Structure 1
Amino acid sequence: MLTDRSGLIVWVTDLKAANKHLERYGSVHFISKRLHYAAMYVHASKLEETMKQLQKLAFVKKVERSYRNEIQTEYSNNGADKSSFYTL
């Protein structure tokens, strides 16, 4: 059973605190040490509530929604087939 998840990008000031506390709010996918952000997934039904809770944390600068699930990933092949051009 898969649950609907939404992605969040959390910009942080303290990586150690982010690593320790963000697991409470959802599953942390990646933490960038160089750019100081964390990519995480939360339940889609609790997205707005979780964003408000994260924004209240002392080490959080900004919380952004990820629009990755809204990007079109199915492509159409309307162009001409060039495979015959590259054959020997």
Structure 2
Amino acid sequence: MLDNEKQEQILPWKKRRALIVWMHTLRPLRQLRKFGIISYVSRQMKYVLIYMDEVAIEKNMSVIEKLNFVRSVERSYRPDVSIEYSKIDLEDDDGFDVEELGTTIKLSDKV
């Protein structure tokens, strides 16, 4: 396994982000190919998921919004969401505080 620094020197990764393009009609779908890679098309809900480079997203987003068949454009927030989770030691404490109460159960005479 390569270190992260060595791996970045060998394979320089470009940061990418998705745009969700809501459309009035899907007929002019081919025009969106020039902005990035079309990853998914929802024919029922009429939206397209386009992946493109992070550096070009502002410019492309403003151009796509001006197209007459586009209803709205949203930016994907997936790269902004933290995926680091804290480790929970389940052996020491399960994370739940349970207070036991003295309860009695009465059964009904009529069954």
Question: Do they superpose with TM above 0.5?
Answer: yes
Unmatched tracts of structure 1, length 5 or more: 82-88
Q: Which has the higher strand share?
A: 1
Q: TM-score, normalised by structure 2?
A: 0.66
The change in CA–CA distance for 1:55 and 1:77 in structure 2 (over 3 A counts) is same
Q: Which amino acid aligns with 1:21?
A: Q
Question: Residue deviations 1:38-61, cap 9 Å, x none?
Answer: 111111111111001101111100
Of all paired residues, the percent bearing the same amino acid is 32
Determine the structure 2 residue equivalent to 1:70.
80
User: Which of structures 1 and 2 has the bigger CA Rg?
Assistant: 2
RMSD: 1.3
Structure 1 runs (4+) greater than 4 angstroms displaced = none
Indicate which of 13, 17, 25 corresponds to 2:24. Answer: 13
Please give the alpha-carbon distance, in whole angstroms, between the structure 2 residues aligned to 1:51 and 1:79.
44
Please give the alpha-carbon distance, in whole angstroms, between the structure 2 residues aligned to 1:68 and 1:9.
12
Unmatched tracts of structure 2, length 5 or more: 1-11, 92-111
Name the SS for the 2:82 alignment partner. coil
Higher relative contact order (CA 8 A, sep 6+): 1
The change in CA–CA distance for 1:79 and 1:37 in structure 2 (over 3 A counts) is farther
